[in-house]
Amino acid sequence: MRYSLLSALAASAFVAAAEEPSYDYIVVGSGPGGGPLACDLARAGYSTLLIEAGGDEGENPTYADLANFNEAANDEATRWDFWVKHSDDPERELKFGHTTWDTGDGTFYVGTEPPEGAKHLGIQYPRAAVLGGCAMHNGAVCTLPQDEDWNIIVNKTGDKSWEADKMRRYFQKIEKNDYLPSGNAEHGYTGWLSTSTGDNSWAKNDSLPATRILKKIAELTGQDPAKATDLLNNDMLGAYENRDEMTSFFNMVSHGDKNGKRSSPNNYVRATLADPKKYPLTLQLHTLVTRVLFDTAGAVPKAIGVEVMEGASMYKADPKHVDGTKGPIKQILAKREVIVSGGAFNSPQILKLSGIGPAAELTKFNITVVKDLPGVGERLADNYEGSLLALGQVPIESGLITLLFRTPSAPTAKRNIFTWCAAFSFEGFWPGFPAYYGPNQYTCAMVHMSPKSQAGSVRLVSADPQDVPDINFRFYRDNGDDDLKELTEAANLLRQAWQAAGDPALPFEELHPCPAGTECTDAHQMEHFKLQAYSHHASSTCAIGADGDVMAVLDSKFRVRGVQGLRVVDASAFPVVPGAFPVLPTMIISTKAAEEIIADAKGAAAAL
């Protein structure tokens, strides 16, 4: 395995001398978008440089063992802290229960009554600076988007290669299914991404309170309670007819193997690096990309490389960053293309620092405008997430109850809520999360799919690439009452199901959204979800869009509009949030992007 530190280029990066080190492709970011893409390009024979701001924790059990995902997301070894806002209302922001403050003594205060002199930070949104990106610290849930989430790109661009039935073949290409017998035509068995499921045998025990909850949920959602145990083993990634309208229990799928080991782009990159004679992939760790370099001599600006700052913890989101620390600046050239895969926060930041973005914003920070693209950093979207949390009278022995369903006020026939219930607590992110409420804790966590508002933004605070941008999701700004009503309807159904737990579990002491002493009205719950919803599926800040859409950043082949030799491949490319969990969809589009790039390269070679 080779981790190379590249020598500095000559002062002028705009004409590549023969002796200067360069690559066919430079990929910025090793997460679900960039990591697999770099491997695919190298395996196709193209010299590829993969740049990652963090290090490699692939052999660290904190990251390698899926059971340790909470510890991984809290680990300062890889964590980048983005302190985000949920609205433009400062008073509303201070009502978020896990608002975080810097006490000034090296510790955080989390809550709404900070000590005197504490500095308000905001709402923690941790990202992973590590080989493999956020696929190394997440809960590893694998879901596919609704068909409409793919087809919207067809409708916007006319590119039929994005049709949902065609996109499934990319999933099949990368999957190494570990939970179904080989030969299932809906799945793949030879890819690099292991998928596995859990054991649901607990649900065969009718005496368990959780089994009674399971059967009550079945009754409330139009499923057969007598078959609930079998339904719990439905294939979450199956190609069911009318899948998106199908209310059902499922067995949650993880991107991990049957032994509980995480499967991620980290594994694929390592496997590709292991054969350097066959696959020309170079990995450069602990390197912060500061901007993309352009040749502006022609009629259309062309990306020809990147400028980087070398060294660990160069970005100020890194809790290990030391103020004033700067690494050496170097430039690296790309003979063919630069692909930015920094994620929904960092990809738009990199584009803007490079002169690609809203002209007024760039000019404000004296950044030379290469291409005025108003959509860069706009249309930030995310799933709304919330939970019901209660304490039983005894521990609630249970595995996961995983359910996708439609609430009564959903605007279409498609399901709109993904929920999973078990004896755990999850209430979002803050330093040291999650809270532990004792052995009797029980939660139904909810992800709201197809949110109706994507009014968020990622905007520069300076031209300094080490600075963290200003991130505001503007939750519920557009049609918010509709989304809040859907979340509340879901909560009411799940709360009703809890009452079937029986003795000795009942009565449940609810902690939220309706704690003891409150009147559990819909209005109360809507206000709770408005103030306390959280998220961790950011997308759409460099979105694919139609030719006539002034806010479109990319075309259907991931190419940045108005320039040459530059693409963005990560969750920022999706026009809408892809389903309930974006990690698998992002790995899917990474594979599609590689196919597009390789086809373009072969086409260019054939034209010579």
Cβ atoms of residues 67 and 261 within 8 Å = no
* Segment 411-466, tens digit of pLDDT: 999 999 999 999 999 999 999 999 999 999 999 999 999 999 999 999 999 999 99
Query: Residues at the annotated binding site?
Result: 130, 138-141, 289
Burial bucket for residue 70 (CB in 10 Å: 0-12, 13-18, 19+)? middle
Pick from 257, 260, 267: which is nearest to 194 by CA? 257
DSSP notation for 431-457 = TTPPP---TTEEEEEEEE-S-S---EE
The C-alpha angle with vertex 218 and arms to 213 and 220, in degrees rounded to 5, equals 95
Between CA 137 and CA 52 the distance in angstroms is 16
Cβ atoms of residues 124 and 431 within 8 Å = yes
- The helix (H) or strand (E) run that includes residue 607 is helix 583-607
Distance from the first to the final alpha carbon of the chain: 35
Dihedral sign from CA coordinates of 371, 318, 385, 111: negative
Bridge-based pairing of strands 378-380 and 100-102 is unpaired
| CATH top-level class of 199-251+383-532 | alpha beta
Dihedral sign from CA coordinates of 449, 452, 453, 454: positive
Q: For the chain, what are the domain ranges?
A: 22-61+138-173+262-378+542-607, 199-251+383-532
Dihedral sign from CA coordinates of 131, 134, 140, 141: negative
Pick from 290, 301, 304, 306: which is nearest to 371 by CA? 301
Pick from 193, 259, 215: which is nearest to 501 by CA? 215
Looking at 293-385, list the stretches that DSSP marks H as alpha helix, in order from N- to C-terminal side: 343-353, 359-364
Pick from 474, 455, 462, 471: which is nearest to 361 by CA? 462
What is the CATH code for 22-61+138-173+262-378+542-607?
3.50.50.60
E-state strands within 248-343: 248-250, 253-254, 281-284, 287-295, 302-310, 329-340
Between CA 501 and CA 512 the distance in angstroms is 18
How high is the mean pLDDT in each 10-residue block of the chain (608 residues)? 32 39 95 98 98 98 98 98 98 98 96 97 98 98 98 98 97 98 96 97 96 98 97 97 97 97 98 97 98 97 98 98 97 98 99 98 98 98 98 96 98 98 97 98 98 98 98 98 98 98 97 96 98 98 97 98 98 98 98 98 89
User: Would you give the DSSP letter of residue 556?
Assistant: T
Cβ atoms of residues 94 and 100 within 8 Å = no
Between CA 395 and CA 416 the distance in angstroms is 30
Tokens 């990809």, residue located? 347
Residues counted in the chain: 608
Peptide bond before residue 434 is cis, with ω within 30 degrees of 0: yes
For the stretch 332-343, what's the b/e string if a residue is b when 16 or more beta carbons lie within 10 angstroms of its beta carbon? bbbebbbbbbbb
CA-to-CA dists, residue 544 to 40, 339, 375, 445, angstroms:
22, 15, 10, 30
pLDDT reported for residue 20: 53
Residues 6+ apart with CB under 8 A from 48: 23, 24, 25, 26, 27, 38, 41, 42, 280, 281, 282
pLDDT reported for residue 3: 33
Between CA 258 and CA 271 the distance in angstroms is 19
For the stretch 390-416, what's the b/e string if a residue is b when 16 or more beta carbons lie within 10 angstroms of its beta carbon? bbbeeebebbbbbbbbbbeebeeebbb
CA-to-CA dists, residue 1 to 28, 40, 191, 272, 277, angstroms:
19, 17, 21, 9, 11
Backbone angles phi, psi at 479, to 5 degrees: 55, 35
Backbone angles phi, psi at 344, to 5 degrees: -65, -20
Q: What is the pTM of this model?
A: 0.96
- Torsion (CA) 200, 202, 205, 210 in degrees, nearest 10: -100
Looking at residue 527, its amino acid is E
| Residue 3 β-bridge partners | 283
pLDDT reported for residue 607: 86
Query: Residues at the annotated binding site for FAD?
Result: 130, 138-141, 289
Pick from 385, 489, 394: which is nearest to 433 by CA? 385
| Residue 258 β-bridge partners | none
SS3 for 570? coil
540 dihedral zone (left: phi>0; alpha: psi -120 to 50; beta): left
